Amino acid sequence: MMLSKTNNFLQSHCLTTQTLPPKLHNHFRSGEGNVSSSIPIPRRSKQRNLRLRRASTGVKASFLTQIKKSTSVKVVITVLETVGGPLSHLGIEQGLDGLTDLLGRTLQVELVAAELDEKTGEEKVTPQYFARKSGEHKNEIYYESNFEIPHDFGVIGAIKLENEHRQEMFVKNIALDGLPSGIINIHCDSWIHSQHDSLEKRVFFSNTSYLPSQTPSGLRRLREKELVALQGDGEGERKNSDRIYDYDVYNDLGEPDTDIDLARPVLGGPEHPYPRRCRTGRPRTEEDPLSESKADDVYVPRDESFSQVKQATFQAKTVYSVVHALIPSLRTYATDPDQGFPYFSAIDNLFNEGVHLPDIPTTGFLGNIIPRLVRSISDASNSVLRFETPEFVDRDRLAWFRDAEFARQTLAGINPCAIQLVTEWPLKSNLDPDVYGPAESEISRELVEQDIRGFCTLEDAIKQKKLFVLDYHDLLLPYVGKVRELKGTTLYGSRTLFFLMPSGTLRPLAIELTRPKIGDKPHWNKVFTPSWEPTGIWLWRLAKSHVLAHDSGYHQLISHWLRTHCCVEPYIIATHRQLSAMHPIYRLLHPHLRYTMEINALARQALINANGIIESAFSPGKYSIELSSVAYDLLWQFDLQALPADLINRGLAVEDPSAPHGLKLVIEDYPYANDGLLIWSAIKDWVADYIPHYYPEASLIQSDTELQAWWTEIKTVGHGDKKDEPWWPELKTPDDLIGILTTIIWTASGHHAAVNFGQFDYGAYFPNRPTTARVPMPTEEPSLEEKKKFLERPEAFLLETFPSQLQATVVLTILDVLSNHSPDEEYIGGQIQPYWEDNKLIKAAFERFQGKLMEIEGIIDARNADWSLKNRSGAGVVPYELLKPFSGPGVTGKGVPNSISI
């Protein structure tokens, strides 16, 4: 979601195309945008006569007091038009702003000297001029001002802007002409509030990065003042124009005032530990004083929102259209929300014929916004929602049926970070046996050895690291009783056991489904295995569907939402609150933290909220996000978000200094790990090149007040429910900082890409990954009628287990949108940030990073062409491309964006 990097000026504009160099260099840093070096005032000057007139004597006395030198500089500010619909340019405010433009008082521009006045020790008097509208081109409007700057002003350290309009502006960049080096371009990409909303001027610092102790004297006060402004005071309701970053608990997911059944617990605190979100300060609900009321427009700090800028957040606008227009239309149009699919051919029709949409105003415009999904029908007034055939089905429409594919996707699908090594036998639970039944698994030695007898014994399999498990037993079992009280869904605790074959592929051995004692129903437990007789085959298929529903929920709630979106938001808040925009670590992290808060706010409105898409279509139902809180409490550690540490913790790798990346994989053909380690190492090398440039000594890290405050706030506030954990890394040395930053960048880029952009390919044909299981296994205390239904029409029983037609259609719609890359996506290593352009060492390091990522593209292509790697290539197999760094727009199943932008 990247704004255009080119600078479009009218050829007829004062700064002609001949004046502009082919590639403008960025020499300033926006408070929220980009940077460049401080600007020395040039030698070119002109003389000016200053006359002093004394009128009190009645005698005209005119004399030349002194000759001063000054420099003429032309400033052109580029503002982007915002998207507000056909009436956006009408109304009183727009008319007043037009008058302001006509009078030439649109933007007040003020230059700030980097150093204090040597004589007085005070900040130098700053030149202030108004910029007036001078032209426009496409969606860009230009404002121009001319400055006379004293020769002794020194280096320009910052620029201040004040918006005289009544409406906010999105400033793209500022260009200064009249300097010997040519035009200097200041890239901003930032909202400038109206002076009627706040009298505080916006500050844009120059490109030179400074640690707090190195800040030029003239900028110290501004640096501190900007941080205080961004932190706020924790009081009141936030306005849309605010730029304040503050923390709050997740207390806005429920709607108790609408329906008490829509009340949800507060996430964050001792009872339900959770990361913190951005505070909005909305009023509390009447029914629950702990919960925050809903709003049509959820606050995010202004520079985190790009939806009103053309081509800025294609994803956010599309998601908004889907969740606020398309999905409500589907729900309204559905005659029976619980109706399942009668035949598999009806599932195929989602991709062949589509779903007819109601002819109502809310769907009429969707074809323009999401043409991939909504197509108009020439002979009818309404439109059709038709899905593209996913590559997974296009290559092999029966792959979902096979055990080999079921196992392969644990290593190369969209949730490849849940499988674990089995290190002891029998498998055991940590739950209270008096409540949840026997701790030991029912998967027996005899059952396992029956399948692996030709290869090794059980002891040998464990010793040789050949047994693996998907273990959702302890996480889900406490919720089985609660979920089963909900209409139209069921739940088990589950364990799925796999054996590593000599071919390097996994073979499923057994699935264990468990129901704890519920009321007067006793504990129930059953182990299912692959079979060669009809009833056993269908029971195995049903058991797989339940496990896949568990895996889908774990993926969406924990691997995806919790570990990326949710846990990254505190990093974003702390970065803006504690690191100045001129801090080198802010500038390193900023590309990886953009756009996420707007997407997260939208998720709280329509995806993870009460009765939202997740609750209505995934197995845990109304307990979905509460379950993610349990996972955060039990499983999340910052140090384990580092890919190497995660692999070691799950038993999938061991440290080996002689191996690539210092790790030896237990499963050699593990596509997520193999490709992920390439991305991880490239990020770490780039960060390791960057950090010593600013921190040649450990003492500089320890004395960096902003950096230490940043890390402390992440640990004690943003993730405050985990503040006393012993696993938090220290921040004392460059190596400490490199590890912390690499982990944050990997989480926002590589990890998110691996679990997000394959969702449509693997989840659109939902028999491959059902999001919920609606009926229990037919062997769990069945009635005579249920048993008869299963024995006579097992296929119908399986279809009844799958999501309903409405659930499936809603999920397919959102998966398509979430898997999409925007046309202006910003990919990792794709483009150097303007503030590094003039630093030769940093620029060279980034170019090495960029080159390494391009090299990784080729390595991944070569791996996918190697037929010996059976988990990523072969007949009908979807190549593993989720961690290829770059991609075109659309649903491509590849590409690693800089940040969590969708």
Catalytic residue positions, numbered: 560, 565, 752, 756, 902
Entry field: residues in the chain? 902
Estimate the share of the chain in helix, then strand, then coil, as percent rounded to the nearest 5.
40, 15, 45
Cα-to-chain-centroid distance, residue 52:
61
**Which of 666, 448, 419 is CA-nearest to residue 456?**
448
The phi and psi torsions of 467 (rounded to 5 degrees) equal -110, 135
529 neighbors 446 (Cβ within 8 angstroms): no
600 neighbors 571 (Cβ within 8 angstroms): no
853 neighbors 885 (Cβ within 8 angstroms): yes
Interhelix angle for 584-593 vs 734-746, to 10°?
20
Single-letter amino acid code for the residue at 552: S
Is residue 203 classed as helix, strand or coil in its secondary structure?
Answer: strand
The phi and psi torsions of 604 (rounded to 5 degrees) equal -70, -25
Vertex 753: Cα angle to 731 and 543 (nearest 5): 110
Tokens 């590559």 identify what position? 391
15 neighbors 74 (Cβ within 8 angstroms): yes
**What DSSP state is assigned to residue 214?**
G
334 neighbors 805 (Cβ within 8 angstroms): yes
46 neighbors 171 (Cβ within 8 angstroms): no
The phi and psi torsions of 425 (rounded to 5 degrees) equal -135, 140
Give one DSSP letter per residue of 173-193, joined into a string.
EEEEESSTT--EEEEEEEEE-
Handedness of CA 233, 237, 239, 240 (dihedral sign): positive
737 neighbors 731 (Cβ within 8 angstroms): yes
**What DSSP state is assigned to residue 331?**
H
**CA 618 vs CA 516, 626, 763, 768, 861: distances in Å:** 21, 13, 13, 15, 34
680 neighbors 743 (Cβ within 8 angstroms): no
508 bridge partner residues: 498
**Which of 735, 894, 761, 733 is CA-nearest to residue 828?**
894
Q: How far apart are CA 668 and CA 409, in angstroms?
A: 15
Q: How far apart are CA 702 and CA 692, in angstroms?
A: 14
Query: Own/partner pairs for 365-370, CB < 8 Å, 24+ apart?
Result: 365/325, 366/321, 366/325, 366/326, 369/317, 369/318, 369/321, 370/318, 370/321, 370/322, 370/326, 370/817
830 neighbors 886 (Cβ within 8 angstroms): yes
**CA 871 vs CA 117, 831, 865: distances in Å:** 67, 32, 12
756 neighbors 901 (Cβ within 8 angstroms): no
Q: How far apart are CA 199 and CA 624, in angstroms?
A: 44
The phi and psi torsions of 526 (rounded to 5 degrees) equal -150, 140
Tokens representing residue 514 in the block: 């468990």
Tokens 């800028």 identify what position? 309
Q: How far apart are CA 240 and CA 191, in angstroms?
A: 11
Q: How far apart are CA 259 and CA 267, in angstroms?
A: 19
Tokens representing residue 675 in the block: 């490709």
191 neighbors 122 (Cβ within 8 angstroms): no
**What DSSP state is assigned to residue 196?**
T
